Chains A and B, each alone.
Chain A
Amino acid sequence: MNEFLIQLAIALIKISVVVAFGSGIMVPVMVYAERRVVAFFQQRLGPNRVGPFGILQPFADALKLILKEDITPLGVDKFIYYLAPGLVLFFSVINLAVIPWGPDFQIFGRTITLYVADLGVGLLYLLAVSSLNIYGIVLAGWSSNNKYSLLGGLRSSAQMISYELSMGLALVGLVMSSQSLSLVSIVNAQQAYPFILIQPLGFVIFLICMVAETNRAPFDLPEAETELVAGFHTEYSSMKFAMFFMAEYVNMVVMSCVITTLFLGGWRWPFPNPGPIIGVAQFLGKAFAFLFLYIWLRATLPRFRYDQLMKFGWKVLMPLGILNILITGLIQSLVK
């Protein structure tokens, strides 16, 4: 067999597996988990009729969404109206490319890496893609020709820009500790201990920002039902609505994976040198804990008011992020 073709095949297989995992497996799992867990929080049963324990509910939902009438309201800007949901889903999925899922392993005498790409500027790639993620939402809100949608889109962009800043600042401290922007090197740098131990403040800031970035409760102002109907996706129906829905869950999965990679040692903690299966299990276990946290927050906390949200982002999180950089720098210069 031929080396070039094999490399190509391996890369394509890895991409397919990651995309299938991120959007095809995790979205139904999360839809089911969210409805079920929130139901238990609220002393209800949740979906329990379709299949055993209702586990086929997400597939019934998907079927329903596909078969629904796809309405394009009058007065929308058609090109952008059709483009926006695709953009949102696209920019959510491509983030999965840089996440290291587990250790390298040998099979048929060749080394297989468990990541799609090891970019030298992986962290910046994540930030860049999440800054582009805003466009889908803003354009969806604008092109719908609806005041509620426009307001939802504006709110969401303002929120994402504000919290992206604090997120970037929280990551600066982390990069100072890891001395690298590549996610693979960051995981390798956590062989002895996870970065949450030396960057506790950065971890807390990142955790708050990641909830805000995904527009989830208590930061779900863009789709505040009581004020904005459904926010930026009010006018969307059928599969186009489903794409926004999927993108939200893919974003949650990505963010959980990222925080696991950056602060909890990725696949290297608690066992620093595991085999591929235990490594991936360690990674996914922690990621699932964060996904549960998302649902937990949604079921527990009421929504912020808009001015509280902005004040919290700019007057609390941003100064804390700068403080974190100062402290990290001080400690590092003292230790040296």
Chain B
Amino acid sequence: MNFPFIPDEEDRIMIEGYMEQIAFLILALFAVVGGLITVTHRHPIYCALGLILCFLSISGFYAMLGAPFLAAVQVIIYAGSIMTLFVFVIMLMDLTREDLKMPPSKFSTVVASFLGFVLLLEMLMIIGGGFLTGKMGSWTPEKVDSVGHTRVLAQVLFTEYLYPFEIISFVLVVALVGAILLGKKKLHLGGKE
């Protein structure tokens, strides 16, 4: 290698490959550390922050996979809105130091360990069974790049998947109305209690 090192075109491609790998490793590290903090930390605020870190790294993966729209939406919806609500609620819980030192109940430990074990088995089966690469769809990366990722997503969502999309939005509205109803202390249905 010559010194000082001056990269040419071939090196550039190599360097970009390395950079992608490094970015992946950093994001993967953050995602795993975030996940670990979420399940192991005693304080719920730190758990929430760990989960946010995890969500942000996953959004980074989406961006690296050429899905910038998904990456942005992941941040806006999960990290930005849902977790804000979580943090909001946790902040208002007014936890004392004694609350935090209390050991978790035996029942939840047993159930959580069992479910975690099942999840681990499933993951091993998927990785071992070679199910990771699914069926090839009609939208190849080249085709998506030629039209634009967001445009493709919108077109598919509002033509092919219109009914599922509308049904999901309807279900969400129902959930919203239900939550408001449950939140009201007194119900006045038909004017009588």
Contact = CB atoms under 8 A, between A and B. Distances in A.
B84 A127 contact: no
A150 B6 contact: no
Interface string B1-29: 00000111101100100000000000000
A131 B75 contact: yes
Contact of A142 (B8, B68, B73, B91): B91
Contacts, number: 73
A75 to B, nearest CB: 11
A119 B88 contact: no
A135 B69 contact: no
A128 B150 contact: no
B79 interface: yes
A5 B7 contact: yes
B80 A131 contact: yes
A2 interface: yes
B80 A121 contact: no
Nearest to B52: A135
Interface of A is mostly: helix
Contacts of B92: 154
Contact of A134 (B6, B7, B84): B84
A177 to B, nearest CB: 16
Given A2-B6, A5-B7, A153-B91, A127 B15 contact: no
A128 to B, nearest CB: 4
A2 B91 contact: no
Contacts of A161: 81, 84
A17 interface: no
A120 B68 contact: yes
Nearest to A153: B91
Contact of B84 (A119, A131, A150): A131
Contacts of A119: 68
Interface in A113-132: 119-121, 124-125, 127-129, 131-132
A4 B7 contact: yes
A4 B87 contact: no
Contacts of B45: 77, 80, 139, 142
Nearest to A7: B12
A157 B88 contact: yes
A128 B80 contact: yes
A125 B72 contact: yes
A142 B89 CA distance: 12
A127 to B, nearest CB: 6
Given A135-B52, A142-B45, A120 B149 contact: yes
B129 to A, nearest CB: 35
Interface in A100-122: 119-121
Contact of B8 (A2, A132, A150): A2
A154 B91 contact: yes
Nearest to B88: A157
A120 B75 contact: no
Contact of B69 (A4, A121, A157): A121
Given A150-B91, A153-B91, A154-B91, A131 B81 contact: yes
Contacts of B9: 3
Contacts of B81: 131, 161
B91 A135 contact: no
B141 interface: no
Contacts of A125: 72
B87 A124 contact: no
B75 A132 contact: yes
B76 interface: yes
A332 to B, nearest CB: 15
B63 to A, nearest CB: 9
Nearest to B80: A131
A180 to B, nearest CB: 9
A97 interface: no
A138 interface: yes
Contacts of A131: 75-76, 79-81, 84
B101 to A, nearest CB: 16
A181 interface: yes
B16 to A, nearest CB: 9
19 contacts: A3-B9, A5-B6, A5-B7, A80-B49, A120-B149, A121-B68, A121-B69, A128-B75, A128-B80, A129-B75, A131-B80, A132-B79, A134-B80, A135-B52, A139-B87, A150-B91, A154-B92, A157-B84, A181-B150
Given A2-B7, A128-B76, A131-B80, 4 more contacts: A121-B71, A132-B75, A138-B88, A154-B92
Interface of A: 2-5, 77, 80, 119-121, 124-125, 127-129, 131-132, 134-135, 138-139, 141-142, 150, 153-154, 157, 161, 181
Q: When A and B form their complex, which 6 residue pairs have the shortest distance between CB atoms, in order from nearest?
A: A131-B80, A124-B72, A128-B75, A121-B68, A4-B12, A142-B91
Interface of B: 6-9, 11-12, 15, 45, 49, 52, 68-69, 71-73, 75-76, 79-81, 84, 87-88, 91-92, 148-150
